[in-house]
Amino acid sequence: MASASLFKPSPSTILDKSEWVKGGQTLRQPPVSIVRFSSAAPAVSTIRASSYADELVKTAVSVLLYLCNVLQIYTKTVASPGRGILAMDESNATCGKRLASIGLENTEANRQAYRTLLVSAPGLGNYISGAILFEETLYQSTVDGKKIVDVLVEQGIIPGIKVDKGLVPLTGSNDESWCQGLDGLASRSAAYYQQGARFAKWRTVDNGLVPIVEPEILLDGEHGIDRTFEVAQQVWAEVFFNLAENNVLFEGILLKPSMVTPGADCKERATPQQFLSGGQSEVEATLNLNAMNQSPNPWHVSFSYARALQNTCLKTWGGRPENVKAAQDALLLRASANSLAQLGKYTGEGESEEAKKGMFVKGYNVDGPFALQCPL
């Protein structure tokens, strides 16, 4: 008779949440025990049924192992050396705010033109391994009529997808919001995978999508960097405790935490040598990443940036066709700078004044690093 092995946290080794953060030590997953399920010798009258059940178990285990391998392959591809993620998953409303800053209307044609500019920048795949897309973008074509997903794949960039349905006010709360999108998530995930997405921002591993785990901590406030770190530790401990409780395969996820910085209104600024800087201009975000890669890390640490890659690019474009090449050059400059930072080789020399300007927006999460969640 066949038997199957499943990995499951042992009741005797489940850790308290406090175990996930100990004096700055590396977060660790609880030990796992192997629980074996095997059938007793069947009665003659049930041999055929039991054999069928065994085949089902073997098939299920084979599929599970295959999916685990696929998840790890895509995870490690996104986290390849010297490359990171271009976050271009702004909702239509948020994209409209970006376009308004350069005097453009929020129309599908203008959104299409800007997204075409981004994905078709020559050689972008040398520095970008994955691109997070909004649902409209996943199904959208470039101004030349080519599927945006196909353009990314040709550049060696893995398409990803934002799967949530946005924030809505939480009734009776202190100005809190909750995120929509659990309803219909499985069917949407299947459709996204069919369209070419291979990883997802939010909370899904359905249909082979690699999940980005993103515990967000906003920059708003006057608090210092130590308070931010204290809160970050509590949030990360809570997140990883629950991931372990639910048997999440750590090697098959991408972690995208907020950068640990002083509050946006804090008078005392930090330096990259204090682990991370505040302010979050394009240059500072790159310096932060470079600082994190000055010594060996237990995980691959790279970037998942939106405005920190796009800010100067957007302003250079200004909605004018004649500025497309200059805007793409600005995007490639930022992408190459962060590529060097991922390798710990960025110097910051020759950066423009525009790239040094802060980009803080109240109530909006900052760009952050991401980490491949398995020891290298």
Q: Do residues 37 and 6 lie in contact, with contact meaning Cβ atoms separated by under 8 Å? A: yes
Annotated catalytic residue within 90, 135, 214, 282: 214
- What CA–CA distance (Å, rounded) separates 199 from 205? 8
Per the prediction, the chain carries an average pLDDT of 79
pLDDT score at 139: 98
Token pair, residue 117, equals 């500019």
What is the model's pTM? 0.76
**Tokens 């405790």, residue located:** 241
DSSP designation for 187:
H
Q: Which residues pair with 254 in a beta bridge?
A: 212, 372
Strands 368-372 and 300-305 come out as: antiparallel
Smallest CA-to-CA distance from 162 within 215, 212, 96, 89 is with: 89
pLDDT score at 87: 93
Confidence of residue 26 (pLDDT cuts 50, 70, 90): very low
For the stretch 332-363, pLDDT in tens is: 999 999 999 999 999 877 776 666 555 444 44
- What CA–CA distance (Å, rounded) separates 114 from 215? 28
Active site residue 256: yes
Q: Which CATH superfamily is domain 82-372 in?
A: Aldolase class I (3.20.20.70)
Judged against a pLDDT cut of 90, whether residue 54 lies above it is answered with: no
| Percent of the chain whose predicted confidence (pLDDT) is above 70 | 74
Active site residue 154: no
- What CA–CA distance (Å, rounded) separates 136 from 165? 12
The pLDDT of 53-61, averaged and rounded, is 73
pLDDT score at 4: 34
Q: Give every CB contact of residue 8 below 8 A, 6+ residues apart in sequence.
A: 32, 33, 35, 247
pLDDT score at 361: 44
Judged against a pLDDT cut of 80, whether residue 214 lies above it is answered with: yes
- What CA–CA distance (Å, rounded) separates 339 from 206? 30
Smallest CA-to-CA distance from 196 within 263, 271, 286, 130 is with: 130
Q: Do residues 272 and 347 lie in contact, with contact meaning Cβ atoms separated by under 8 Å? A: no
- Across 122-126, 228-232, 356-360, least confident range: 356-360
- Across 130-134, 193-197, 257-261, least confident range: 257-261
Judged against a pLDDT cut of 80, whether residue 28 lies above it is answered with: no
Judged against a pLDDT cut of 60, whether residue 1 lies above it is answered with: no
Per 3-state DSSP, what percentage of the chain is helix, strand, and coil (rounded to 5)?
45, 15, 40
- Across 183-187, 261-265, 286-290, least confident range: 261-265
- Across 18-27, 56-65, 136-145, 232-241, least confident range: 18-27
CA distances for 321 relative to 53, 115, 317, 325, 344, angstroms: 62, 13, 8, 9, 35
Annotated catalytic residue within 201, 256, 284, 351: 256
pLDDT score at 327: 98
Q: For the chain, what are the domain ranges?
A: 82-372
Confidence of residue 271 (pLDDT cuts 50, 70, 90): low
Q: Which residues of 311-339 are buried (b: 16+ CB within 10 A; e: fewer)?
A: bbbbebbeeeeeebeebbebbbbbbbbbb
